[in-house]
Amino acid sequence: MPRTPRRLAGAAALALTAALALTACGSSGARPGSANAVVSKEANSSPYQGTPLTAHFDKPDLTLTDTGGQPYSLRQQTAGHTTLLFFGYTSCPDVCPTTMGDIGVAMQKLPAEDQKKIDVVFVSTDPQRDTPKVLRTWLDSFDKDFVGLTGSLDQVKAAAKSLGILVEDPVVNKDGSVTSSHGAQVLAFLPSDDRAHVLYLSNTSQDVFAHDLPLLAKGVAA
């Protein structure tokens, strides 16, 4: 059963993003989304099954490199479109591929005209290993229209921080695997004001995305 939609007050929204900030993909740390219990929530009649925010984060003024090796201005090139933004890395064994896969399946359920109204943007938190080619190959397994961006880690961390999401430096483990601790939230920005209005946690189901994407494509207020 879909969870009851909730609206977070400004302070609570910031507390939530801070508490959820670090998810080490493949680690045995705290379960993503467990911070739900530590924030104050107020029920509302939002049409969304994701979490509507009253603290509306501005879309970052960020220029990175896309998978074609070209500069990509996040604000300029997603202008007029609903934008789903997620920070992660391609060698993540669990949260990242699950999240992108669920969004990809939900996107395919939309009519073609609605798919064109939504930009799904994945920003790498491991830019040293996630080259444009690596990123493109990985994203194509979910949806060939997904946008992949890479750049300096400092740029990525600053952009994530502006959204209340923390990103730590990747760690190379003894077995050669990489762990990148990063926020596992998906933020949905509406084209009406280029601000984030809906938050999706790492345990968001495919059904929730399938329910919300048609609303996001139409720019329905949260």
Displacement of CA 170 from its chain's centroid (Å): 18
Q: Which residues are annotated as a binding site?
A: 92, 96
Distance CA 222, CA 219 (A): 9
Closest of 183, 186, 192 to residue 213, by C-alpha: 186
Residue 143 pLDDT greater than 60, yes or no: yes
- What phi and psi, each to the nearest 5 degrees, are found at residue 110? -80, 150
Domains and CATH numbers, the chain: 6-217 (3.40.30.10)
Characterise 182 by phi-psi region: left (phi > 0), alpha (psi -120 to 50), beta (else): beta
Question: In terms of pTM, does the model score above 0.85?
Answer: no
Distance CA 184, CA 203 (A): 9
Q: Which residues are annotated as a binding site for Cu cation?
A: 92, 96
* Per-residue pLDDT tens over the stretch 157-199: 999 999 999 888 777 777 777 676 778 899 999 999 999 999 9
| pLDDT over 90 percentage in the chain | 65
* Per-residue pLDDT tens over the stretch 37-94: 222 244 368 999 999 998 899 999 999 999 999 999 999 999 999 999 999 999 888 8
- Across the chain, the runs of DSSP E, i.e. the strands, are 6-7, 23-24, 42-43, 51-52, 63-66, 71-73, 82-88, 118-124, 147-150, 171-172, 178-179, 181-182, 186-190, 195-200
